[in-house]
Amino acid sequence: MAKLSTPFEIYKLLPQTNCRQCHLPSCLAFATAVLKGAKKLAQCPFLAPEVAAQFAGRVEARTSMDRNMEDVFILLQKDVVAMDLSARAEAVGGRMVGAKLALTCLGKDFFVHPDGTVTSQCHINPWVTVPLLSYVLEGAGENPVGQWVSMRELVDGPTWNALFAHRCEMVLRNLADANSRLFADLIGIFSGRNSAPVFAADIAIILAPLPKVPILICYWRAEDDLESRLSIYFDRSADRNLAVEYLHTLGVGMVSMFAKIGHQHG
């Protein structure tokens, strides 16, 4: 039998009710998580057990996650076309510029067009635009509460914590070790700001990759025989504005941008 190798193929099996009982904001997010191996078909509470059993062995993880993100972006674009962007502007901390929804992300304006395309003066890639569209379509619009937590403390966070640590925190720590100007660049280029001392970190800065999804980056310098450390924290409300899966995706996209800046100054 043919393999299930795209989010849409899995999505078609699901009830498409976006019930959130799987702890993800939509059936599309669940389909993407299944394809990545973070969820099992049987974890959909409304998918008949016999259907889950029939198709479980046919899920084939994508070897190219860039292609996977492109597939998800196309599906999200279709949902944007069907929505009233102006009705979402206030909830997501954006503003309307003509027919476009403008969102300030990392100090830069990103524009969501009525046809679902995303434009910005920044480099656009699906690792950033997929979380952005998911935030617009599915975010609860809750204001940050000012309480910082780790990835593992968020809903469904333990599932993604190890991958997030490997692909985001470890990569960013290595960049910081190699580039003493990195944090100054994050403040100057991406509108970051220094945080009051927290978690006894040597450096703590706050960034806003999405209007209502701030992050706190804490860095501890190497000392004596101790290696340097870096951790990324989220506001307690983060998983209600963006699914943890897409918080991970956003982290990968951000670190990729930061790496380019680091290499320029390397």
What CA–CA distance (Å, rounded) separates 68 from 9?
12
pLDDT tens digit string along 4-44? 877 778 888 898 888 888 888 788 888 888 877 778 889 99
Tokens of 69: 């993100």
- Determine the residue type at 197: P
- CA distance to 7, 166, 212, 239, 244, per residue, from 155 (Å): 22, 19, 17, 6, 7
pLDDT at 266 over 60: no
- Determine the residue type at 156: D
What CA–CA distance (Å, rounded) separates 163 from 175?
18
State the pLDDT confidence band at 102, using cuts at 50, 70 and 90: very high
What CA–CA distance (Å, rounded) separates 215 from 130?
18
Averaged pLDDT, 178-184: 91
Rounded to two decimals, the pTM is 0.81
DSSP 157: H
- CA distance to 3, 30, 52, 215, per residue, from 55 (Å): 9, 15, 5, 38
Q: What are phi and psi of 234, to 5 degrees?
A: -120, 155
What CA–CA distance (Å, rounded) separates 114 from 84?
8
Torsion sign over Cα 253, 257, 259, 260: positive
3-state class of 236 per DSSP? coil
pLDDT tens digit string along 41-97? 899 999 988 888 888 888 876 545 566 777 888 889 988 999 999 999 999 999 999
- CA distance to 110, 136, 191, per residue, from 132 (Å): 9, 6, 18
193-194 vs 148-149, strand pairing mode = unpaired
For 34, half-sphere exposure in the C-beta direction (CA atoms, 13 angstrom radius) is 30
What CA–CA distance (Å, rounded) separates 93 from 139?
11
Largest Cα span, the chain = 58
Tokens of 1: 């039998």
Provide the pLDDT for residue 235. Answer: 98
Tokens of 177: 């070790």
Helical spans, DSSP H, in 45-116: 49-56, 65-81, 85-88
What CA–CA distance (Å, rounded) separates 69 from 248?
12
Query: How much is the mean pLDDT over the chain?
Result: 89
What CA–CA distance (Å, rounded) separates 182 from 198?
19
